Amino acid sequence: MKDLVYSAPLFADRGSVRMDAVPCAAIDRFHWEQPGFARPRSAAQFYGVAGVGLCARLQSDESPLRCEVAQRDGPVWTDSCLELFLAPVPGDPRYINVEVNPAGVFLSQFGAVREGRVFLAALTALAPEVKAFRADGVWGCEIFLPDALIAALFATDYHTAAGTLRGNIYKCADGSAAPHYGACFPVDDAALGFHNPACFGRIELRPFQP
């Protein structure tokens, strides 16, 4: 599982981003299934912008949607939810998790393991840029992590550049009538759930070649 790789383009600036050039990864590894669980078709795209930040675009054809949480850092995983878990600094086990519902309400935390995670809002005034969308029978979100936010959390001079990141992308809906737990990279421990950095895959960020 640790050897699974997603190849992500690194664009020179935001104006040069081409979503048609960003590989699409299925969120199709489903876990802990029981009768009545669903398997919505879901997918992710991930890319970087040199010296600016990291971005994930996630979407799902899940229906019907559950969207009840209205406050940042509330239990959005009980709603229809798309999630990015990312360890962007090589050699540092700490990771950022951003979890988003169809209204664009998000939860964001930071830490090395599941226990004792700290909300980003308690650590910095900076925040992920999160935008939800609905179109053509799907819902989704875009999550942008600016370099300044990553630098503040990790207390390092961070600049998005070519290299290897680690992370995973998830689809869940704990409180839905048809729950599900999908992942890009498979997860092997129900006790840890998605907070399982040992099962994060590699994200290889390489300069975009038109």
For residue 80, is pLDDT > 80?
yes
Q: How far apart are CA 117 and CA 15, in angstroms?
A: 35
- Which whole number is the average pLDDT over 46-71? 97
Could you tell me what percent of the chain has a pLDDT over 90?
93
Residue-range domain boundaries for the chain: 5-207
pLDDT at position 188: 85
Q: Mean pLDDT of all residues in the chain?
A: 95
pLDDT at position 77: 97
pLDDT at position 189: 78
For residue 60, is pLDDT > 60?
yes
For residue 1, is pLDDT > 60?
no
- Which whole number is the average pLDDT over 84-98? 97
Q: Which residues contact 37 (CB under 8 A, 6 or more apart)?
A: 30, 178, 179, 180
If you write DSSP's letter for every residue of 22-58 in order, what string do you get? SPPEE--EE-S--TT-----EEEEEEEETTTEEEEEE
Q: Which helix (H) or strand (E) holds 152?
A: helix 147-154
Secondary-structure class of domain 5-207 per CATH? mainly beta
pLDDT at position 3: 59
